[in-house]
Amino acid sequence: MNTAAIIILVVSFIALIVLRFPISITLAGSTLITLMYLDIPWVVVGQRMIQGMNSFPMLTIPFFILAGQIMSEGGMALRLVNLAQLFVGTMRGGLAMVNCVACMFFGNISGSAAADVSSVGSVLIPAMKKKGYDADYAVAVTTSASIQGVVVPPSHNLVLYSIAAGGVSISSLFLGGIVPGLCLLLVLMIVSYVIARKRQYAKGDPITWKEVPKIVRDGLLSLMTGVIILGGILTGWFTATEAGAIACAYAFVLTFFIYRDVPLSRFWVVLKRTFRTVAMVLFLIAASDAFGWILAYLKIPTLVSDLFLNISSNPLVILLLINILLLLLGFPMDMAPMILIMTPILLPVVTQLGIDPVHFGIILILNCGIGLITPPVGTVLFIGCAIGKVSVNQATKASLPFFLAMCVVLLLITYIPGISLWLPHLYGK
């Protein structure tokens, strides 16, 4: 064990983070500094970075991102809000209920919590404020509900985990996220309802029967994106990568030729935004692969595994410790780098204990998702605060009941593997 090299890697990583370098530069930079000490040629970093992106399943990510960007461009969020209104809109605190369901619907299309809160939040946060809901509560509901988007398919974060884990089945992960996502929806709706009754928020406005056919038609057309992706994978008609490409084509036709909310000229703007996002994600994956290689070279995953197993050999205790670690890391770290860094470190620990990689993947993704609504790096929290025009402190306090509720769901998913594994086993994945 090269203790000096491990210290150099850790210290350089922390130093670059403190100096506020982008996480991809931090990963590549700390790897290069450590290689210099070990007198290993720098060409190794380049080779590892290229190898990290040289993967067919990697194409899934840009396709899913593009499909989500296209669907976000039009009035998709409003149509899904109207569809959710049919189911839960007339309840006490109806708009909060609608928010939870609409975020689930939109998450099944975009696979991104940030896109979820940006699209649904821009419609519902102002509407909730207009109906007398407290602004901090409106932001808390929206940001918390948007986390469903990272768990349910077609979450590109599940694809990231699959790549970081060395090829865990994407279709199994997609299936594994459905029931946990529904559990999350149910718990968030319960918390929203309890708070709404306590504060005596108004019931939602009823929808006339005349409006129902159009609302159902538009809503179902929007949801077909998720149906195409998941249905095609489950039936074996196409792979996850092919599903992403077909979803892009469907989203393009639906947005620009059927709904026609935006002119076709806006497609160039969508492409530029997608290219920018994909470039950042791919460079992060490349840098993470190089960082993962140096971790393996220094046998850090083995050291971490030994550390946990020296504390306890009980899988229940180890999983609790891992959850606490991931929740704490969620405060200063963003989601994608956390997945890419922690997967190669923690996966050997849990597999040694006989825990299914799909089960662990859902645990990891939900942990990282919860971190998106916690300061100081809660990306989703900041987007919601900007839309709702409330301070981060106000939104954080209002989010506490939802944070605790999500932690309850996390514990249920952690200690009842069947919640994540029932559907994959049912379909023989």
pLDDT over 90 percentage in the chain: 20
Closest CA relative to residue 136, chosen from 123, 147, 149, 125: 125
What is the CA 342 to chain-centroid distance, rounded? 15
Confidence of residue 99 (pLDDT cuts 50, 70, 90): confident
CA distance 294 to 291: 5
Band (215; pLDDT cuts 50, 70, 90): confident
Read off the pLDDT of each residue in 124-139 and give the average, rounded to a whole number: 87
Q: What is the pTM of this model?
A: 0.85
> Beta-carbon neighbour count of residue 254 at 10 Å?
20
Mean pLDDT of all residues in 358-386: 89
pLDDT band at 204 (very low <50, low <70, confident <90, very high): low
Spell out the domain ranges in the chain: 41-426
At 177, the pLDDT band (50, 70, 90 cuts) reads very high
Higher-confidence residue of 362 and 159: namely 362
Stretch 175-190: mean pLDDT: 93
- Tell me the CA distances in angstroms from 195 to 101, 188, 191, 283, 395, one per residue in order: 17, 11, 6, 42, 15
pLDDT in tens, 148-158: 988 988 888 89
Distance CA 60, CA 239 (A): 9
Give the burial class of 381: count Cβ atoms within 10 A of its Cβ; 0-12 exposed, 13-18 middle, 19 or more buried.
buried
The pLDDT value given to residue 414: 95
